[in-house]
Structure 1
Amino acid sequence: MARDNNTFEQQKSRMAKEAGFIAALDQSGGSTPKALRLYGVEESEYSGDDEMFAEIHKMRTRIITSPHFSSEKVLGAILFEKTMRGEVEGRPTAEALWGAKGVVPFLKIDKGLEDEAQGVQLMKPIPGLNDLLKEAVAHGIFGTKERSVIKHADRDGIEAIVTQQFELGLQVVDAGLVPILEPEVDIHSETKAEAEAMLRDAILSHLDTLEEGQDVMLKLTIPTAPGLYDALADHPRVVRVVALSGGYSTDEACERLSANPKMIASFSRALTEGLSKGQTDSEFNAALGENIDKIYAASA
């Protein structure tokens, strides 16, 4: 499903203005076994990466095809590479999302984290990035997501992490996609609030260097101080600021998000909480619908 400019602008307008949230369906190699265990699939039930990813794709397909997973409350969905290259009910995944559901597709592009230095974990290099971005455009992907992590309030480390995010983001923009920059602050950090204030200031400084058309999204940990990121949401180069659940339960993440009206959710574990392979379709859809309703209400 190759994207045209009209579709891109329609998707961008939807992401900027409409109510809803982004579903994070991008668990990759390291996080997939845990996600499957929570879903009721033990490691003894599959052998090797191919079978593991086949199991997670079944879970994602069940979510995407649920009647509760619709454009009424879900604005977008972040996919893992194998999910993008796969199919949902005989259609390429991005086409099944946008063409059938009106849900904007994104692609996770980061390849994991470096060891901690200066209180942060930078992204590892991304081999073959230009080819991956071209492939994403060909699949009809709207934007990308790239995650790094802040552990402590170290000003130099935070500046390094923001610089890396924006450098990668500009490569994504040059490829014709909209990047979601994700410098996550660890919710367990003893200096979380201080780190978040430093992060806001560093992001604002970098946003002011962007030119018209170099638009980005931001995915940030829900801040300790409500409204801390309002200035980012109001910046002309920011399409939307979205929140990660960061390990909070669905209820706590939604409660914290509700205090930040200029952020919307982009939850992963909180979205799939309580879902199980062994549930009947009726039970599965009811549980998913309840999670979607909570996350949507907190994002509205």
Structure 2
Amino acid sequence: MNTKQFERIKNAKGFIAALDQSGGSTPKALKLYGISEDSYKNDEEMFNLVHEMRKRIIKSPAFTDDRILGAILFKVTMNSKIDDMYTADYLWEKKGIVPFVKVDEGLAELNKGVQLMKPMKELDELLKNAKERNIFGTKMRSVIKELNEEGIVEIIEQQFEYGKKIAEAGFVPIIEPEVDINAENKAEIEDIVKREVVKQLEKLPKDCYVMFKFTIPTKANLYSDLFEFPQVIRIVALSGGYTREKSNELLAQNENLIASFSRALTEGLNANQSEEEFNKMLDESIEGIYKASVEK
């Protein structure tokens, strides 16, 4: 593990940019960016287009380490290059930004009110690849849609099972049990999520470091006392479908919670914007998210 990167993620001010749209979410991300589905014929062309979008964001003068701690990549982006450097190396060596990679293989069908992660059949191979690409940490996402205790327990157990395996391989896993922002009884669901997370943390070896990515909780500061566990190095928040303005407003109410926004980060960016327009809008987006993350 890179100790400089570890210290940066644990202690520095800023937020984590989520640039990890995968096969299922990429068409929507491209559409919001002004690129329609008839602009590409296959997955390869689609991923090339989204890499150009990510590359434009990363190379922007607004995308700097004084406000951004880390960036979460998709595996295709991890194995793609920016100016003849692999993306993770460019992020760290040129920008001082810590690279993460999304490792889950998508969501299973809804069952017991939740969507578990599909079995990660390629995890070992992906982690080997990630080590070669100088990746610091990983991210994996599950979704909770209903108040079903049995389903929620399964979500948290699965996340920690994979998290421990990832940590043993030398990475810091971001555990992400997303609670749907439109779920009925959202606050009650989040209480159960926290209870089950605490149970798992109590069993976790002291030298097994983890991060969490939560939906911004209905009860402000719900997750703050998880920092009492030495294994927890950072807690970040997803935007979950809220607008950037709403995401920032809710995030600012939670101490010790920083952003890891995807759609809210890129909201308003467009392929047809001039570099000046693009960089100005991205700078405003980053500044707003940064302030909501650190100015409590």
Q: Shared topology, TM-score over 0.5?
A: yes
Q: Is the 8 A contact 1:73 1:296 kept in 2?
A: yes
| Partner SS state of residue 138, structure 2 | strand
Q: Give, in whole Å, the separation in 2 of the partners of 1:87 and 1:198.
A: 42
Moved over 3 A (4+): none
Alignment length (residue pairs)? 294
Unmatched tracts of structure 2, length 5 or more: none
Counterpart code for 1:14: R
Pick from 273, 281, 291 the counterpart of residue 279 of structure 1: 273
Report how far residue 265 of structure 1 moved: 0.2
SS at match of 2:206: coil
- 1:206 aligns to what? 200
SS in 2 for 1:117: coil
- 2:83 paired residue among 76, 89, 95: 89
How far off its partner does 1:101 sit?
0.3
SS at match of 1:267: coil
Matched, 1:80 2:74: yes
- Distance in 1, Cα, partners of 2:150 & 2:115: 12
Match of 2:255 in 1: 261
Give me the whole-angstrom Cα distance separating, in 1, the residues matched to 2:34 and 2:122: 34
CA distance in 2: counterparts of 1:19 and 1:125, whole angstroms: 35
Q: For the residues of structure 2 that align with 1:28 and 1:203, how far apart are their CA atoms?
A: 26
Contact 1:265–1:299 (Cα < 8 Å) also in 2: yes
Question: CA shift at 1:230, angstroms?
Answer: 0.8
Which residue number in structure 2 is paired with residue 57 of structure 1?
51
Aligned-pair CA distance for 1:235 = 2.0
User: Which residue of 1 is the match for residue 20 of structure 2?
Assistant: 26
* 2:155 corresponds to 1:157: no
For residues 206 and 247 of structure 1, the distance between their equivalents in structure 2, rounded to whole angstroms, comes to 28
- Structure 1 residue runs without a partner (length 5+): none
111-120 or 179-188, which moves further after superposition? Answer: 111-120
In 1: Cα distance, 2:232 partner to 2:112 partner? 27
How far, CA to CA, are the matches of 2:217 and 2:128 in structure 1?
Answer: 34
The answer for the alignment partner of 1:142 in structure 2 is 136
**Match for residue 242 of structure 1 among 236, 249, 253:** 236
Q: Is 1:40 aligned to residue 34 of structure 2?
A: yes
Aligned to 2:173: 179
Q: Distance in 1 between matches of 2:280 and 2:227?
A: 33
Deviations 1:137-163 (A, max 9, x none): 110000000000011121111111000
What corresponds to 1:223 in structure 2?
217
Equivalent runs, 1:5-16 vs 2, <5 Å? 5=1, 8-16=2-10
Question: AA paired with 1:127?
Answer: K
Code of the residue aligned with 1:144 in structure 2: it is T
TM-score (norm 1): 0.97
Amino acid at match of 1:111: E
Contact 1:233–1:263 (Cα < 8 Å) also in 2: no
Q: CA deviation at 1:81?
A: 0.5
Q: 1:125 aligns with which of 119, 128, 145?
A: 119
Percent of aligned pairs sharing the same letter: 52
What's the CA shift for 1:294?
Answer: 0.5
Distance 1:285 1:166 in 2: 38
Give the TM-score normalised by structure 2. Answer: 0.98
- 1:171-220 per-residue CA deviation (whole Å, 9 max, x = no partner) reads 10111000000000000001111000000110011001111210100000
CA distance in 2, matches of 1:52, 1:127: 24
Residue number among 283, 287, 290 corresponding to 1:293 in the alignment:
287
CA contact (8 A) 1:146 1:181 kept: yes
Q: Secondary structure at the match of 2:241?
A: coil
Q: Contact 1:159 / 1:202 at 8 angstroms: preserved in 2?
A: yes
